[in-house]
Structure 1
Amino acid sequence: MDFSKNILETIGNTPLVKLNKIVAEIDALVLAKVETFNPGNSVKDRMAVKMIEDAEADGRLQPGGTIIEGTSGNTGMGLALVAIIKGYKLICVISDKQSKEKMDILRAVGAKVVVCPTDVEPTDPRSYYSVSKRLALETPNSWYVNQYDNMSNSLAHYEQTGPEIWKQTDGKITHFVVGVGTGGTISGVGKYLKEKNPNIKIWGIDTYGSVFKKYHETGIFDENEIYSYITEGIGEDILPKNVDFSLIDGFTKVTDKDAAVYTRKIALEEAIFVGNSAGACIKGLLQLKEHFKPEDVVVVLFHDSGSRYVGKMFNDDWMRERGFLEENITKAEDVIKDHIDKELIVVRTEELVSHAIERMRKYKISQIPVVDITGFVGSVDETDLFRSYVADKNVAEKPIKEVMGKPFPIVKMGTPIEEVSKLFTKENDAVLIELENGNHHIITKYDIIGSIK
């Protein structure tokens, strides 16, 4: 009979799959190392086992102990599988930008999940780096994994992932492309492949808000490059010991939008349901296409499963809110389609300024058209009201007609968005659109900005 003694024995030997439609413009053979076939559905299963086994061997992890780690979710899943089989407890410290699916999955496999804010410095006591270290100090019989600086991370890929790729390509691989987070995968695989053939090029995929690319090119750790980003699993605001920059031939950066869009494209064009970092890798691959020749064999690694992003990249509402959804914005009505059914809030000429202020607060708006029995005759916005208040503290009890400005311009449905944009000036912050039913709706600068792709 052919069976595994436990689930951990199924880790590794993931398939190499030829990519077709999504890389049609690349003149080379492109193969994806699909790591979702691991039992924890990510590449992190490999190093989770290695780090725990090495810690057991040298006594850092004692029987019945508690494993503590800061994770974006995938390492936590790998650690959870090993913890279940080997009888350890697990505490995962995760940042609040990670998907809800990742947190739910970790809890489902028995991990205690501690959520920390994303937008803090690594040294901030609230950061998931700091919280992980603190919990390790406070928890008896515990071991802090520290995947960033734990060299068993890259060693796992040197011993397993690299040899697999070399064997599967029959030694013909010319380029390896992978997202860089902790650095274990790129460094471990890169070390093995370059030992086999120093001419193999190793490319890292970075994201905007991360320090890797500039540091690799200049040796400068530029804190001005550090800011919050959406892409999960790649990029860092620290320099992990596992990142061996001497093995990396270059980096390319991919935007949050491109990473999200290409994550969906992989599923739709290749029938491979993978996560956010895979989307970043494919877009990065396309950005590097001039480096590839027809005889080249390019391997790109897909880190994890798309199931962990169904509430994010695979959710139309989430994508639309961030301006990531590929929608054709050409006409005036396109920029307000998400709220076109809402009633237009107006104020009448004889109403008091206090009434307009109350409506602005209630509906969280900044501009209001002014009407009388003839139609639209003026407008007020928060800037007008502020100036009026500075000039006269009793303005709240005055009629709107005494402080209103010119009426907003009115456009018809079908007006090109370029024409609508020209109507916004320093003196005019909104435009009205006449709908098919004769009613009107307001278009603000915020709507125009939100439509920019």
Structure 2
Amino acid sequence: MKYAKNVLETIGNTPLVQLNNITKELPCQVLAKVEFFNPGNSCKDRMALKMIEDAEKDGRLKPGGTIVEGTSGNTGMGLAIAAIVKGYKLICVTTDKQSKEKVDILRAVGAKVVVCPTDVEPTDPRSYYSVSKRLAEETPNGWYVNQYDNPSNALANYEQTGPEIWEQTDGKVTHFIVGVGTGGTISGIAKYLKEKNPNVKIWGVDTYGSVFKKYHETGVFDENEIYSYVTEGIGEDILPKNVDFSLIDKFTKVTDKDAAVYCRRLALEEGLFVGMSSGSAIKGLLQLKDELKPEDVVVVMFHDSGSRYVGKIFNDDWMRERGYLDDEIIKASDLIQSHIDKPLVVARTEELVSHAIDRMRKFKISQIPVLDVNGFVGSIDESDLFAAYVSDKNIAEKPIREIMGQPYPVVKANTPVDEVSKLITKDNHAVLLELENGKHHIITKYDIINAIK
């Protein structure tokens, strides 16, 4: 009988799959190393097991101990699988930008998950770096994995993934491209492949908001490069020790939008249901097409499964809210698709100004149309409210009719966007859209801005 003694024995030996459609513009053969075939559905299973086993050997991780790690989700899943088999407890610390699916999956496999804010400095005590370190120190028999600086991360890929790629391509691989986060994947694979053939090119994919590309090219850690981004699993606002810049020949940056769009294209054009960082990797490769020749054999790493992004990348509403879907915006009704299911928030002439203020706070809006028995007769805008408050501190207890502005213009659903845009001025901040069913929706300048591609 042929079987694995436990799920950990199924890690590795993932297939290389030729890409045929999305890479048509490239002159060479492109092979995807599809890592979602690992039991935890990502490339991180390899290094998670390696880091645990090495910690067991040198006594850092003791029987019955608690594993603590900061993770974007995939490393946590790899650690969770190993923890189940080996009898450890696991605490995963992640950020609030990670997909809900990742957090739910971690909890499903027994991990305790702590969610931290994304937009804080790495040294901030609230950051997931700081929280994971603190929890490891405070937890009895706790072990902090620290995948960013743990050498076993890169070693796992040097011992496993690199040899697999070399053997699967019969040594013909000329380029390897992968998204860079902790650095263990690119550095471990790069070290092995360059030992086999120093001419193999290693390309790293970075994201806007991350420091890797500029640091590689200039040696400058530029904090101005750091800002919030959507792409998960790649890019950093620190320099992990596992990123060996001397082994990387080139970096290219990919936008959040392109990462999402190309992730979806891989599913539709290649039948590969992969995650957002895989979209970054393939778009990064396409950006470097001019450096490829017909005889080249390119291996691109597809890090994880699309199942972890169903509520984000593969959700049209989520994509549309961020302007990632190239919907053709030509008429007024196209502008409200992201909030068409939300009722219009209104105020009545005889209500108090305080009621309108409460609604603005509750619904996080800046403009409210005002109704009386005859229909729309006025409007309230936050800037007008502020000006009124400056002149009269008791404004909140006055009826809305005393401070309301002119009613918003009303347009039909098929009104061209250009005409709608002309109606929004410094004195008029919104337009009402009248639908065929008699209902109305509000169009603001932000709807116009979001329609700009």
TM, length-normalised to structure 2: 0.91
Give the aligned partner of residue 131 of structure 1: 131
Identify the residue that residue 91 of structure 2 maps to in structure 1: 91
Deviation larger for 125-134 or 243-252: 125-134
Tell me the CA shift for residue 43 of structure 1.
Answer: 0.8
The answer for the alignment partner of 2:310 in structure 1 is 310
Q: Deviations over 1:339-398 (max 9, x none)?
A: 4463473655x8876676566567654334467788766544222233233334566677
Q: Which residue of 2 aligns with 1:229?
A: 229
Distance 1:261 1:398 in 2: 50
- Which range moved further: 147-156 or 368-377? 368-377
- Is it true that 1:148 corresponds to 2:151 in the alignment? no
Cα contact 1:434–1:440 (8 A) shared by 2: yes
Letter in 1 for 2:273: F
Q: For residue 320 of structure 1, what is the aligned residue in structure 2? A: 320
Matches within 5 A, 1:24-423: 24-340=24-340, 342-343=343-344, 345=346, 347-348=348-349, 360=360, 364-369=364-369, 379-393=379-393, 403-423=403-423
Alpha-carbon distance, 1:39 to partner: 1.4
Shift of residue 217, structure 1, vs aligned partner: 1.0
Q: Per the alignment, in what secondary structure is the counterpart of residue 124 of structure 1?
A: coil
Q: Deviations over 1:145-172 (max 9, x none)?
A: 1111111111111111111111111111
Asked if the contact 2:17–2:34 (Cα under 8 Å) also holds between the matched residues in 1, the reply is yes
CA contact (8 A) 1:347 1:368 kept: no
Cα 1:385–1:40 change in 2 (3 A) is closer
Deviations 1:285-325 (A, max 9, x none): 22222222222111100111112222221222322333323
SS in 2 for 1:22: coil
> What is the one-letter code of the residue matched to 1:130?
S
Deviation string, structure 1 residues 212-255 (Cα, Å, up to 9, x no partner) = 11111111111122222221111111101000001111111112
Q: Is the 8 A contact 2:317 2:338 kept in 1?
A: no
CA contact (8 A) 2:11 2:39 kept: yes
Deviations 1:144-200 (A, max 9, x none): 211111111111111111111111111111111101010001011111111222221
Q: What corresponds to 1:19 in structure 2?
A: 19
Counterpart of 1:160, as a letter, is Q
- Please give the secondary structure, in 2, of the residue aligned with 1:72: coil
Q: Are the structure 2 counterparts of residues 380 and 175 from structure 1 closer, same or farther at C-alpha, using a change threshold of 3 Å?
A: same
Which amino acid in 1 is paired with 2:16? L
Q: 1:65 to 1:408 in 2, by over 3 A?
A: closer
1:393–1:98 Cα change, 3 Å: closer
Paired AA for residue 45 in structure 1:
D
**Comparing 272-281 and 318-327, the one that deviates more:** 318-327
Q: Which runs of 5+ in 2 are unaligned?
A: none
Identical-pair percentage: 79
Structure 1 segments unaligned to the other structure (5+ residues): none
Which amino acid counterpart does residue 303 of structure 2 have in structure 1? H
Counterpart amino acid of residue 385 in structure 1: L
Secondary structure of 2:47's aligned partner: helix
Partner-residue secondary structure (3-state), 1:243 = coil
Contact conserved, 1:344 with 1:440, CA < 8 A, in 2?
Answer: no
Tell whether the 8 Å contact from 2:346 to 2:370 is kept in structure 1 after alignment.
Answer: no
TM-aligned CA distance change 1:92 to 1:335, over 3 Å: same
Q: 1:412 offset after TM fit, Å?
A: 3.2
- TM-score w.r.t. structure 1 length? 0.91
Query: Alpha-carbon deviation of 1:280?
Result: 1.3
CA distance in 1, matches of 2:171, 2:320: 43
Q: Cα distance 1:81–1:410, how it changes in 2: closer, same or farther (>3 A)?
A: closer
Range that drifts further, 317-326 or 335-344: 335-344
> Aligned partners of 1:389, 1:262: CA distance in 2, in Å?
49
Kept in 1, the 8 Å contact 2:262–2:283? The answer is yes
